[in-house]
């Protein structure tokens, strides 16, 4: 089976062959824990009909075509990864042939270096949320993801929220940590990126909002809350003003 | 030399696949010539040209296998090879369609795109490309049209529709694009970077991409716009959209447009437009007196906008770009050289560029794509002077694949040039990348080596220069390919311009290295607000440039294969040409009709919303106002002379029943003379009748009412099985029974229905489909449920217990009792959908035993008829095919309304009765979804996970796919009065739909 990999994860599948652990098995996604020079990272492997996390290896076929065979592994099992391949025997092995382009919220050209945020306030925000709440990705993390995407767009360089989150990544699941790191750089699943871009443009499109709300079990509403949070905390831009107005309405 | 020609119908294969089969067969020992091809006009010409005799009547939907061999054995071996190859293809296709639960492949691009597709790829023959491309645009997807031979009018139509839908048409005649890192068509694997390309030329774009990649500058996207986009007629429609999309693409920092010189007014307009986009736009337009592509790329890179520092300076040979020196044997000084340039190209733009670079130094260069008409080559393509040939030109790709796929023609010419003393230097192009030959360099290298050897043996030196377009990441590996060619003795250059100059140098013409002159034709942006808007504004083209593409493909499978090799989600349509007799122009006219989308949606909505309540039973005289001497019959209008046995018999019986004649002979005479007798289709009175379907004034009829649209419909009472009027029997027992039905059954049913306050027939249909009935040929559950509804009030009706008991027994014994209610219920549904201007949905399908007729919502009461087919299936008792009458009855109204044969998956039991099996039943229904507007919300099929039945047969879809509606029906005996002889499957004749399409195109 041929697959495309996110550039954010490219280094995980190149290099010498090593053993990866299976963290999670779902109909449309498989989560592997891969050891590499920088440490341990979560690598999602997803089918075309599921969510497309920005760090994923993407298979071109829907989960239905795996139905009989499935992923062929169970949680706690191991898989060989390296040399451009992921060794899942039930699929005849996965070979990476291309990099796909994960969705990204672009940095606004009028992004400012000065956030006006107090590092202590940011840290409080993070402490009260990171690793907390129900869900494979804890709800608190989802809120932080939403806020991080907004912060990435509005501020040039890093910002206190991103700094705080990155320092506290050890307090949450490795999967959630990888998504938080991606969000800190503006990367998200396509539905969420499209929604954040629209909100920054001053548009709260109900269709896009619904798409985000449907993500995961509890993630969707938490992501939406996070976006509102980010816009409310941001310095006065057109987008954040309208968000504040919307929040108060 | 013996010839062998066979013709096969009923299968379609794309041209590239058949060319591969032809090559295979031609490779068999002893086979001197082989051609396996669809019998299109073009291919027939080629076959006649080869001296083969093709049977007359062979048409574009037939495959011709033509083989010539040294003897009969060789021919037989060739035939065997052809059969095996075609069999392998057929079973490969069938694999996905066989078995329980496997879904047949979609037949159109619309089906392939479904609801998730974002990009269409069309490579069907040009005549049919517009229809497929329209599918994509309607589905909100951008579309790449590889096909050429699309008219200018169609191109403008497509591009206007695309602009309105906010999507992009890349094409027609577009062979190269790269979107989001995915190579489409013939394109290279280029590193990712900040340059957005807009290309009206395929190989031109590939050359530019390869140069940019070699310079370490990557591309964000390469959007093709088709070779004609910048002409006056098309006025840069796609270019404009592409520029706008790249301007809002966050990855793109600068834009480069690659084309031949645009029409001046188009260029001026686009330059003005580009100036306001907020990103620098450069133009690489190849034409006389203009910089070549390499020079244009150098100027582009040198401009300040990209921050790329000065290019490496030229080396001793004047090259600034990668090149590989040839591996040469020591040359004896006595070798002579010819004086002429011989350029043999696969890429048209590269050939053009070579001529433009070489012409100033060499003078006139003859070509099959000459720079001016006086330099045209003769048909033999030979000339002692300078020659450049484009082997990809249309005239040289008749009956053979493009040279990028099949190199044989050019290889032959290389050998010929080697033996030609006038040849001074060979200049060749080779384009690598996705979609091209998997490893072309070794074969070309061999040809080069052989050619140089041939020349050397004759005392001549033959220098060879190759311009090699490609990148390090291409599947064929640029360096490895270059090394193979260099080892064969060729000088290899990435830049086509430099290659041409190197070739000229071999002829003694030295061109100075041009200084790099930056040519920026659009000002750099200085408007931060605009840029801000551009970056944060809504993604253009519905996210084409930012989302992972989900591709639907119709046409040649090499392109879908190339996408699969890049791990792209692609669904291939099993595309076939339209129904024979259909004019593709009519398909486009109707598809482009602005009314059609909404009209069909409304037709489906009304058809499925219509209700059907049985509200009364009364004489036709009262209910229909049927006049004395008027006889309604099933099917389209027909005269006595043409009527078949069952219909004639039924009419005779009706005349006797009405007392208009005393003997069958007198009745027949009356009908033949026509005095005082009018024959009319039931449909003209909004009624329906099964089989012969004769309704006369005295006959009692069911009356149904649609409360939603306030329509009414009627149908005769079912006489039961055996010798009955509807099968053309008219003996005394038939007449006697009709009288009993009128005097006893009818009045009792009337009481029962009225006392019950009406019976919801639509609800029974919905239930019976989930109980193994399909509503045409199987009605058992429906009949029982109807009886259950009628019994309480039937029992208490005013009549003797004997009469009531007989009425109950009579109704209960008839397993098709419900048919006469299901039919008018479907009539009400289709009636509600009728008369919507612009709608191509079928609202009547009916047969009179001689003709099959349909009517369409958007063309009013006009009938479209053709000869009725005879059903095929199983026969009762000792009856056989010769006993069957052609298709007869109004019961096809059930298929028209979304049940019956189209719902066969709901009734596996009936399938065995007609000679099929269960997988067949599932496949039949699933295939019907291809030709219908939508699914019925109320009529659902359990085994398909309660998917709604295929409803709303669309004339356009039938015409495009060639899939005819599937009808499951009883068979009447040919001889009047025989009765039912069997049951089987039948389709309407294609003529009905081809004629309907013509009428729709003019409506």
| ipTM associated with this complex | 0.89
Q: Please determine, for residue A249, whether its predicted confidence score (pLDDT) is greater than 50.
A: no
**Residue B418's pLDDT band (cuts 50, 70, 90):** very high
**Residue B594's pLDDT band (cuts 50, 70, 90):** very high
Same domain? For A159 and A229 the reply is yes
What is the mean pLDDT of the segment spanning B282-296? 91
Cβ of residue A175 closer than 8 Å to a chain B Cβ = no
Which one of B308-312, B437-441, B513-517, B611-615 scores highest in mean pLDDT? Answer: B611-615
Residue B645 lies in a domain: yes
Cβ of residue A98 closer than 8 Å to a chain B Cβ = yes
C-alpha radius of gyration, chain A, whole number: 18
Q: Do A2 and B566 touch (CB under 8 A)?
A: yes
Residue B776 lies in a domain: yes
Same domain? For A139 and A88 the reply is no
Q: Do B567 and A98 touch (CB under 8 A)?
A: yes
Same domain? For B553 and B483 the reply is no
Nearest CA in chain A to B221: A101
Closest partner residue to A99 (CB to CB) among B181, B528, B536 is B181
Token pair 């005649």 in the structure block, residue: B173
Same domain? For A9 and A87 the reply is yes
Cβ of residue A199 closer than 8 Å to a chain B Cβ = no
Nearest CA in chain A to B563: A60
Contacts 24+ apart (CB under 8 A), A210-215: A215/A51, A215/A189, A215/A191
Interval A125-138: pLDDT, tens? 898 899 988 777 89
Distance CA B883, CA B243 (A): 68
Distance CA B972, CA B871 (A): 10
**Structural domain span for residue B622:** 595-1003
pLDDT value at position A114?
Answer: 76
Q: Do A97 and B568 touch (CB under 8 A)?
A: no
pLDDT value at position A158?
Answer: 85
Interval A171-223: pLDDT, tens? 998 889 999 999 999 999 999 999 999 999 888 889 999 999 999 888 999 99
Residues of B engaging A, defined by a Cβ cutoff of 8 Å = 180-182, 192, 250, 528, 531-532, 535-539, 543, 546-548, 550, 564-570
Same domain? For A243 and A212 the reply is yes
Residue A18 lies in a domain: yes
Residue B800, Cβ density class (10 Å: 0-12 exposed, 13-18 middle, ≥19 buried): exposed
C-alpha neighbours within 13 Å on the C-beta side of residue B396 = 26
Of B141-155, B395-409, B615-629, the least confident: B395-409
What is the mean pLDDT of the segment spanning B908-929? 87
Q: Do A60 and B567 touch (CB under 8 A)?
A: yes
Chain A: closest CA distance from residue B145 (Å): 23
Q: Which residues does chain A have within 8 Å of residue B218's beta carbon, measured at their own beta carbons? A: none
Same domain? For B792 and B697 the reply is yes
Peptide bond preceding B278: is omega within 30 degrees of 0, i.e. cis? no
Residue A106 lies in a domain: no
Residue A112 lies in a domain: no
Residue after which a domain boundary falls, among B477, B495, B513: B495
Distance CA A201, CA B520 (A): 32
Same domain? For A133 and A243 the reply is yes
Q: Which residues does chain A have within 8 Å of residue B543's beta carbon, measured at their own beta carbons? A: 190, 194
CATH number at residue B926: 3.90.1700.10
Closest partner residue to B536 (CB to CB) among A97, A99, A108 is A108
**Residue B523's pLDDT band (cuts 50, 70, 90):** very low
pLDDT value at position B527?
Answer: 35
Cβ of residue A197 closer than 8 Å to a chain B Cβ = yes
Residue after which a domain boundary falls, among B61, B95, B129: B95
Same domain? For B601 and B533 the reply is no
pLDDT value at position B538?
Answer: 44
Give the phi and the psi of residue B491 in degrees, each rounded to 5.
-80, 130
Q: Which residues does chain B have within 8 Å of residue A109's beta carbon, measured at their own beta carbons? A: 528, 531-532, 535
Structure tokens at B4: 């062998």
Residue after which a domain boundary falls, among A99, A127, A143: A99
pLDDT value at position A246?
Answer: 54
CATH number at residue B138: 3.40.50.261
Chain B: closest CA distance from residue A168 (Å): 30
Residue B515 lies in a domain: no
pLDDT value at position B516?
Answer: 55
Q: Which residues does chain A have within 8 Å of residue B532's beta carbon, measured at their own beta carbons? A: 108-110
pLDDT value at position A248?
Answer: 45
Residue B510 lies in a domain: no
- The two beta strands, B759-760 and B851-856, are unpaired
pLDDT value at position B305?
Answer: 62
Give CA separation, B132 vs B13, B143, B555, in Å. 17, 9, 10
Residue B588 lies in a domain: no
What is the mean pLDDT of the segment spanning B597-624? 97
Q: Which residues does chain B have within 8 Å of residue A52's beta carbon, measured at their own beta carbons? A: 548
Cβ of residue A205 closer than 8 Å to a chain B Cβ = no
Q: Which residues does chain B have within 8 Å of residue A194's beta carbon, measured at their own beta carbons? A: 539, 543
Closest partner residue to B536 (CB to CB) among A61, A103, A197 is A197
Residue A114 lies in a domain: no
What percentage of chain B exceeds 90 in pLDDT? 75
Same domain? For A28 and A145 the reply is no
Residue A7 lies in a domain: yes
Residue A84 lies in a domain: yes
Interval B713-767: pLDDT, tens? 999 999 998 889 999 999 999 999 999 999 999 999 999 999 999 999 999 999 9
Q: Do A103 and B547 touch (CB under 8 A)?
A: yes
Q: Please determine, for residue B331, whether its predicted confidence score (pLDDT) is greater than 90.
A: no
Closest partner residue to B536 (CB to CB) among A100, A104, A106 is A106
pLDDT value at position B473?
Answer: 92
Q: Do A109 and B550 touch (CB under 8 A)?
A: no
Same domain? For B750 and B786 the reply is yes
Same domain? For B188 and B269 the reply is yes
Q: Do B565 and A60 touch (CB under 8 A)?
A: no
Of B112-116, B133-137, B140-144, B152-156, the least confident: B112-116
Chain B: closest CA distance from residue A4 (Å): 6
Of B76-80, B206-210, B825-829, the least confident: B76-80
The residue among B817, B814, B966 whose CA lies nearest residue B887 is B966
Same domain? For A123 and A232 the reply is yes
Q: Which residues does chain A have within 8 Å of residue B569's beta carbon, measured at their own beta carbons? A: 48, 60-61
Same domain? For B328 and B307 the reply is no
pLDDT value at position A214?
Answer: 92
Which residues, 6 or more positions from B288, have their beta carbon under 8 angstroms from its beta carbon?
A: B356, B371
pLDDT value at position B798?
Answer: 94
Cβ of residue A3 closer than 8 Å to a chain B Cβ = yes
What is the mean pLDDT of the segment spanning B202-226? 95
Same domain? For B278 and B342 the reply is no
% helix, strand, coil for chain A, step of 5: 45, 20, 40
Of B7-21, B24-38, B64-78, B499-513, the least confident: B7-21
Residue A104 lies in a domain: no
The residue among B227, B246, B94 whose CA lies nearest residue B172 is B227
CATH number at residue B55: 3.30.70
Higher pLDDT, B429 or B49: B429
pLDDT value at position B524?
Answer: 42
What is the mean pLDDT of the segment spanning B928-952? 96
Sheet containing B490-493: give its strands across. Answer: B323-324, B490-493, B464-469, B423-431, B340-345, B387-390, B366-367
Residue after which a domain boundary falls, among B577, B606, B622: B577
Cβ of residue A68 closer than 8 Å to a chain B Cβ = no
Q: Do B548 and A4 touch (CB under 8 A)?
A: yes
**Maximum Cα interatomic distance, chain B, rounded to a whole number of Å:** 124
The chain-wide mean pLDDT, for chain B, equals 91
Chain A: closest CA distance from residue B116 (Å): 9
Q: Do A106 and B250 touch (CB under 8 A)?
A: yes
Residue B226 lies in a domain: yes
Q: For an interface test with A, give the residue of B116, B536, B541 to mutate (most A CBs within 10 A).
A: B536
Same domain? For A131 and A92 the reply is no
pLDDT value at position B874?
Answer: 85
How many helices (H) does chain A have, and how many strands (E)? 9, 8
Same domain? For A134 and A84 the reply is no
**Structural domain span for residue A233:** 119-248
Same domain? For B787 and B847 the reply is yes
pLDDT value at position B535?
Answer: 37
Q: Which residues does chain A have within 8 Å of residue B181's beta carbon, measured at their own beta carbons? A: 98-101
Residue after which a domain boundary falls, among A99, A132, A162: A99
Which residues, 6 or more positions from B412, have their beta carbon under 8 angstroms from its beta carbon?
A: none
Distance CA B784, CA B786 (A): 5
Question: Taking each helix axis from N to C terminus, what angle separates B478-487 and B440-457, rounded to the nearest 10 degrees?
Answer: 10
Nearest CA in chain B to A47: B569
Interval B15-71: pLDDT, tens? 777 877 888 898 888 998 898 988 888 788 888 888 999 998 888 778 999 999 999
Closest partner residue to B536 (CB to CB) among A59, A100, A201 is A201
Q: Which residues does chain B have within 8 Å of residue A99's beta carbon, measured at their own beta carbons? A: 181, 192
Q: Which residues does chain B have within 8 Å of residue A61's beta carbon, measured at their own beta carbons? A: 569
Q: Please determine, for residue B153, whether its predicted confidence score (pLDDT) is greater than 80.
A: yes
What is the mean pLDDT of the segment spanning B631-649? 97
Chain B: closest CA distance from residue A233 (Å): 20
Higher pLDDT, B94 or B159: B159
Nearest CA in chain B to A196: B536
Q: Please determine, for residue B520, whether its predicted confidence score (pLDDT) is greater than 50.
A: no
Distance CA B515, CA B495 (A): 16
Same domain? For A237 and A133 the reply is yes
Structural domains of chain B, count: 4
Same domain? For B477 and B558 the reply is no
Distance CA B134, CA B122 (A): 10
Same domain? For B75 and B118 the reply is no
Same domain? For A137 and A243 the reply is yes
Residue B827 lies in a domain: yes
Same domain? For B334 and B291 the reply is no
What is the mean pLDDT of the segment spanning A214-238? 84
pLDDT value at position B528?
Answer: 35
Distance CA B865, CA A168 (A): 77
pLDDT value at position B536?
Answer: 36
Same domain? For B88 and B118 the reply is no
pLDDT value at position B308?
Answer: 56
Q: Which residues does chain A have within 8 Å of residue B252's beta carbon, measured at their own beta carbons? A: none
Q: Please determine, for residue B525, whether its predicted confidence score (pLDDT) is greater than 80.
A: no
Nearest CA in chain B to A200: B536
Q: Do B182 and A198 touch (CB under 8 A)?
A: no
Residue B509 lies in a domain: no
Same domain? For A123 and A93 the reply is no
Chain A: closest CA distance from residue B138 (Å): 20
Token pair 């003769």 in the structure block, residue: B378
Residue A225 lies in a domain: yes
Structural domains of chain A, count: 2
Q: Do A97 and B565 touch (CB under 8 A)?
A: yes
Structure tokens at B677: 């007798």
């Amino acid at each position: 089976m041929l697959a495309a990999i996110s550039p954010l994860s490219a280094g995980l599948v190149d290099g010498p062959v090593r053993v990866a652990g299976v963290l999670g098995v779902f109909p449309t996604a498989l989560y592997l824990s891969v050891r590499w020079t920088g440490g341990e990272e979560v690598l999602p492997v997803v089918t075309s009909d599921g969510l497309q996390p920005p760090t994923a290896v993407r298979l071109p076929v829907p989960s239905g075509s795996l139905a009989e065979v499935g992923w062929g592994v169970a949680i706690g099992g191991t898989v060989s990864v390296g040399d451009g391949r992921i060794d899942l025997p039930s699929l005849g092995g996965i070979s990476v042939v291309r990099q796909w382009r994960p969705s990204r919220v672009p940095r606004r050209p009028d992004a400012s270096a000065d956030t006006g945020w107090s590092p202590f306030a940011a840290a409080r925000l993070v402490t009260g949320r990171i690793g907390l709440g129900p869900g494979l990705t804890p709800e608190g993390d989802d809120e932080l993801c939403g806020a991080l995407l907004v912060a990435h767009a509005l501020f040039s360089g890093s910002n206190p929220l991103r700094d705080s989150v990155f320092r506290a990544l050890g307090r949450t699941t490795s999967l959630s940590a990888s998504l938080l790191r991606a969000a800190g750089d503006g990367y998200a699943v396509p539905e969420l990126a499209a929604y954040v871009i629209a909100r920054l443009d001053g548009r709260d499109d109900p269709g896009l909002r619904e798409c985000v709300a449907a993500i995961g079990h509890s993630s969707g509403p938490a992501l939406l809350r996070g976006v509102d949070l980010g816009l409310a905390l941001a310095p006065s831009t057109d987008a954040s003003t309208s968000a504040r107005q919307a929040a108060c309405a | 030399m013996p010839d062998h020609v066979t013709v096969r119908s009923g299968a379609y294969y794309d041209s590239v696949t058949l060319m591969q089969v032809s090559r295979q067969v031609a490779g068999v020992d002893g086979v001197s010539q082989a051609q396996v091809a669809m019998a299109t006009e073009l291919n027939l010409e080629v076959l006649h040209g080869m001296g083969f005799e093709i049977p007359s009547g062979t048409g574009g939907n037939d495959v011709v296998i033509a083989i010539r061999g040294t003897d009969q054995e060789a021919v037989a071996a060739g035939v065997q090879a052809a059969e095996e190859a075609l069999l392998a293809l057929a079973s490969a296709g069938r694999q996905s369609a066989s078995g329980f639960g496997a879904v047949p492949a979609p037949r159109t691009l619309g089906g392939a795109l479904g609801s998730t597709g974002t990009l269409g790829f069309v490579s069907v023959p040009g005549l049919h490309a517009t229809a497929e491309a329209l599918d994509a645009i309607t589905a909100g997807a951008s579309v790449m049209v590889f096909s050429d031979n699309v008219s200018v009018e169609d191109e403008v139509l497509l591009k206007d529709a695309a602009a309105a839908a906010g999507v992009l048409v890349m094409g027609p005649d577009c062979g190269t694009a790269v979107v989001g890192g995915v190579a489409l068509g013939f394109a290279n694997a280029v590193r990712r970077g900040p340059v957005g390309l807009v290309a009206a030329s395929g190989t031109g774009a590939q050359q530019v991409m390869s140069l940019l990649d070699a310079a370490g500058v990557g591309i964000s996207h390469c959007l093709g716009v088709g070779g004609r986009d910048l002409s006056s007629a098309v006025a840069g429609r796609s270019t404009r959209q592409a520029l706008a999309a790249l301007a809002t693409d966050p990855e793109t920092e600068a834009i480069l447009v690659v084309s031949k010189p645009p029409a001046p007014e188009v260029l001026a307009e686009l330059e003005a437009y580009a100036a306001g986009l907020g990103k620098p736009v450069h133009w690489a337009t190849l034409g006389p007196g203009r910089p070549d592509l390499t020079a244009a790329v150098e100027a582009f890179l040198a401009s300040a906008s990209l921050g790329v520092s000065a290019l490496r300076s030229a080396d001793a040979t004047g090259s600034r770009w990668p090149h590989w020196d040839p591996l040469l044997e020591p040359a004896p000084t006595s070798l002579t050289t010819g004086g002429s340039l011989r350029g043999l190209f696969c890429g048209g733009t590269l050939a053009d560029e070579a001529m433009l670079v070489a012409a100033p130094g060499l003078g006139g260069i003859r070509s099959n794509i000459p720079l001016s008409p006086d330099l045209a080559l003769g048909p033999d393509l030979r000339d002692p002077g300078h020659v450049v040939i484009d082997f990809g030109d249309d005239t040289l790709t008749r009956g053979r694949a493009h040279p990028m796929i099949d190199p044989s023609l050019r290889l032959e010419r290389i050998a010929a040039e080697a033996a030609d003393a006038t040849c001074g230097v060979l200049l060749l192009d080779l384009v690598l990348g996705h979609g091209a030959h998997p490893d072309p360099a070794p074969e070309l290298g061999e040809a080069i080596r052989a050619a140089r050897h041939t020349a050397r043996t004759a005392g001549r030196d033959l220098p060879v220069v190759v311009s090699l377009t490609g990148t390090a990441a291409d599947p064929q590996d640029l360096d490895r390919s270059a090394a193979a060619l260099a080892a064969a003795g060729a000088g290899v250059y990435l830049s086509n311009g430099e290659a041409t100059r190197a070739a000229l140098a071999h002829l003694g013409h030295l061109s100075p290295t041009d200084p790099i002159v930056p040519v920026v034709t659009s000002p750099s942006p200085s408007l931060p607000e605009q840029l801000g808007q551009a970056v944060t504004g809504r993604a253009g083209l519905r996210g084409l440039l930012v989302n992972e593409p989900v591709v639907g493909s119709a046409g040649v499978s090499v392109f879908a294969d190339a996408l699969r090799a890049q791990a792209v989600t692609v669904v291939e349509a099993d595309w076939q040409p339209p129904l024979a007799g259909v004019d593709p122009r009519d398909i486009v006219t109707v598809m482009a009709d602005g009314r059609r989308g909404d009209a069909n949606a409304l037709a489906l909505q009304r058809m499925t919303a219509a209700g059907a309540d049985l509200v009364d039973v009364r004489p036709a005289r009262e209910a229909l106002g049927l006049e004395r001497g008027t006889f309604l019959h099933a099917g389209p209008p027909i005269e006595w002379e043409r009527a078949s046995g069952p219909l004639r018999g039924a009419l005779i019986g009706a005349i006797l029943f009405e007392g208009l004649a005393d003997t069958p002979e007198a009745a027949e005479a009356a009908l033949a003379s026509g005095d005082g007798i009018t024959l009319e289709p039931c449909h003209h009175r909004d009624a329906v009748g099964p089989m012969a379907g004769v309704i006369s004034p005295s006959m009692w009829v069911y009356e149904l009412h649609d409360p939603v649209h306030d329509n009414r419909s009627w149908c005769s009472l079912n006489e039961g099985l055996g010798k009955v009027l509807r099968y053309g029997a008219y003996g005394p027992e038939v007449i006697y029974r009709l009288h009993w039905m009128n005097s006893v059954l009818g009045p009792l049913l009337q009481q029962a229905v009225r006392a019950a306050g009406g019976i919801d027939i639509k609800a029974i249909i919905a239930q019976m489909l989930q109980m193994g009935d399909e509503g045409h040929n199987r009605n058992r559950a429906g009949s029982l449920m109807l009886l259950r509804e009628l019994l309480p009030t039937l029992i208490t009706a005013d009549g003797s217990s004997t009469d009531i008991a007989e009425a109950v027994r009579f109704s209960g014994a008839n397993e098709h009792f419900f048919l006469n209610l299901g039919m008018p219920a479907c009539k009400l549904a289709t009636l509600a959908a009728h008369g919507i201007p612009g709608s191509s949905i079928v609202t009547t399908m009916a047969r009179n035993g001689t003709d099959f007729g349909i009517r369409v919502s958007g063309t009013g009461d006009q009938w479209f008829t053709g000869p009725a087919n005879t059903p095929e299936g199983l026969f009762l008792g000792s009856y056989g095919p010769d006993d069957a009458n052609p298709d007869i009855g109004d019961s096809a109204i059930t298929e028209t309304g979304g049940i019956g044969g189209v719902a066969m998956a709901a009734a596996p039991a009936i399938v065995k009765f007609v000679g099929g099996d269960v997988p067949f039943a599932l496949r039949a229904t699933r295939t019907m979804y291809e030709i219908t507007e939508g699914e019925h919300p109320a009529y659902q099929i359990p085994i398909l996970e309660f998917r709604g039945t295929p409803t709303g047969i669309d004339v356009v879809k039938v015409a495009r796919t060639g899939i005819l509606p599937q009808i499951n029906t009883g068979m009447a005996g040919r001889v009047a009065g025989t009765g039912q002889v069997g049951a089987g499957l039948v389709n309407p004749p294609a003529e009905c739909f081809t004629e309907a399409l013509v009428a729709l195109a003019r409506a």
